[in-house]
Structure 1
Amino acid sequence: MNTNALRAYFRAKGGEIGGFAYRARMHRPFTELEPSITVTEQYRVRYILRSNIFDGVELERLRREAVPSSNENATTGGAVPQVEEQPAHVDAAENTPVVADSNDDGTFTQELEIEQMRSTLDEAIMETRSTPLENRPRLPRIALSKRNRAVVRSLNPMLVTYLEASRDLCETDSILFGAALAVCRIIGAKLSTAGRTTGQSSAIPAWRTRIEERIAKARALIGRLICFRSGNTRPRIVRTVRMAFAGTNVNLSQPDIMQKLTERIDDLKQRIAAWGKRIRRYSERSTRFNQNRLFQSDQKRLYKSLERPLVSGTGPVPNQADTVAFWRSLWSEPVNHNEGPWMEVVASQCAGITPMDPVTITPDDVAEAVRRAPNWKIPGLDGLHHYWLKGFVV
């Protein structure tokens, strides 16, 4: 086998060759060919598996050339002599399953066994059933790779038992969310543990947090300086005053120290005012932006938010008899309405209109709507993206 074939052999799937001893056998000749590269066997396998240098046909040819099967003659052309097996003292960490790409048919044969995947699925579904909607973790966007799709396809037949026992749509939704959570844990996706927020995000920008911390420290320093100016000479106060004048030529024993203290206090107050003005300017700008956006989407909500809240509970409590008499006069007494001639005109005009057929939503309509929906559009209260509805076809 030539040098290129030896390097390309590391793309071979461990499950197809059987075991992981091939890595130690092939790593020794590789180190002889490339003595300057000092990497572990597992790292070399991972690197070449992800490089996508050769297509499937060439990989199959190199695999047959590198390790002949049991029914082939080892002495035929293109075969290599068998090397001794991997020693028994090889580190167990080297025998961990390799994250390998899937085959052309999308079969995920490594990283986790079927039983381990089933156990992860059971745990995720049980956890989702006992967790309220607002406390569910936020599902991340996962890469649309063959490996991730293979994990989803592997969990599909496992969901049949759960879905057949589902009693309502809410339980079905929790099962699908648990399956999505299991996929994220299997592929190692990062999950947020803080839970989801059902309303608009209220995260404070980092720069505003820093400014608020500066304001708090400046106010605390002003308090210490005022205490020192008033005659408080405790060691803690004196130490803080010295730190406030660090890097300057101000000495606490000089005669104009009171004037220096007043100037320092005024400077800190001006800084606090500037920082507060910056925060107010940001808040006003954010409010204007949100109002303009709400005006474009829902003017009624905007006007309702601008109205002053009504103060309730300040007047006398209404009498129950008066309340019943008021509503009874509106709903219980019969009323003869004088509809007028215009009602006959409208009835004659609408007599020739054919009533609309009742709308029937079929499963095919739902499937088509899900198929056309974007994969990672913002989900609803359940936190389930359309990607998972498309992936779990069962």
Structure 2
Amino acid sequence: MVFAGTNISLSQPDITQKLTERIDDLKQKIAAWEKRIRRFSERSRRFNQNRLFQSDQKRLYKSLEQSKVCGAGQGPDQADIIAFWRGLWSEPVNHSEGPWMEVVASQGASVTPMDPITITPQDVAAAVRRAPNWKSPGLDGLHHYCLKGFIVCHAVLARQFQEALDQKSLPSLFTTGITHLVPKDQDTTDPSKYRPITCLPTIYKTLTSI
């Protein structure tokens, strides 16, 4: 029996020594690759930080100040999650509008209404082209990457968007999202220590970006 890629055979008298040498050689190669990967990761991290510094310094400093959160701990009980967030989302709240609302309403009365908008397939194509490929989708489960390839859908979407604007009504699917709870710190058992992030459908995000 001969090991693939080597000249080592079980019939050799010094098989133990050769296997030991081979194992040591593989360990050295693994260690070398580990160092190369570590250097590449560090170089990529510095490159991304420099690019983020040029585009959004606030976001960079915020990412440097935030401590790493481990989300691998035990999650909260589902009943506790429902009880906590139901109190925030399901119970009606009577907001007391201040006098500033009247000021805003009076100022808005003199604003000239915007001309009617006609959405064309070119508008849809431009909005899809600007969008990131793999942003988290909503209930539609659709990524912008797919819309960029399915060019024949742009005319259909433009017609549906125009109908929604003319009727001044959006389908409920457009504004129904999927909410994910992201832990804010190490205490993953407390429902109040989570940040809700709602992912809206990609179709709706395309409409709002036109």
Both structures adopt the same fold (TM-score exceeding 0.5): no
Structure 2-normalised TM-score? 0.37
Report which of the two has the higher share of helix. 1
- Larger relative contact order (C-alpha < 8 A, sep ≥ 6)? 2
Larger strand proportion of the pair: 2
Q: Which has the larger radius of gyration?
A: 1
TM-score, scaled relative to structure 1: 0.23
